[in-house]
Amino acid sequence: MAMKSEKLYKRAGIYIAPSAYGLPVDLEEALASCKAFIRKNRELKLMRIYWDDEVTVVRTSEQNGRRTPLGVTGNDAWQRLLRDTETSAIEVIVIYAARTVAPSISGLARLIREYFLPCGIRLIDVEAGFDSETGDVEDYLKHRNREYRSTLYGRKAAE
């Protein structure tokens, strides 16, 4: 009786969307960068591309005179991607940049800490060179938060 061989790759999905804050994202360039990343990393197999053409911030919270984005519409592809992670159709999420995923860093942090990590879902941010499998998640979130605040509130990011 032949032994079942272990799978040699992780099923990856690329998520492409416009920027929710900060610098705009060229969607075609972002897709090309994500595909190039997967080609270089043979342990990943591209299963699906999830593409949102337009994402709009619809809910905000105002504290101390600052408006913070809380929710978005138009992120149907992102919702499909999350459903695919629940069924294990996708094990690795490849994004171009954090600013394309969530309207706030707290939203991204919540996703990573409370969903991706406990469920074993790997997140790769191509622009930042971050991989949740090998990188320091807290350091990544701290750096993304500085970037987010600097673009949202007009302050220069402290590197």
Summarised one tens digit per residue, pLDDT across range 73-122 is: 456 888 899 899 999 999 999 999 988 887 777 888 888 999 999 999 99
How many percent of the chain have pLDDT more than 90?
Answer: 47
The whole-model pTM stands at 0.79
**Sheet bearing 92-95, strands edge to edge:** 44-51, 10-16, 92-95, 122-125, 130-131
| Residue 156, pLDDT above cutoff 80 | no
pLDDT band at 59 (very low <50, low <70, confident <90, very high): very low
Instruction: List CB contacts of 33: < 8 A, sequence separation 6 or more.
Output: 96, 126, 127
Who has greater pLDDT, 156 or 42?
42
Average pLDDT, the chain: 81
Angle, alpha carbons 134-89-79 (nearest 5°): 90
Q: What is the pLDDT of residue 96?
A: 95
**How confident is the model over 39-62, as a mean pLDDT?**
78
d(CA 23, CA 119): 31
| Long-range contacts from 128-135, C-beta under 8 angstroms, 24+ separation | 128/97, 128/98
**Nearest Cα to Cα of residue 49 among 3, 12, 2, 96:** 12
| Residue 34, pLDDT above cutoff 90 | yes
| Residue 69, pLDDT above cutoff 60 | no
Question: How far does CA 95 lie from the centroid of its chain?
Answer: 5
Q: What is the pLDDT of residue 72?
A: 44
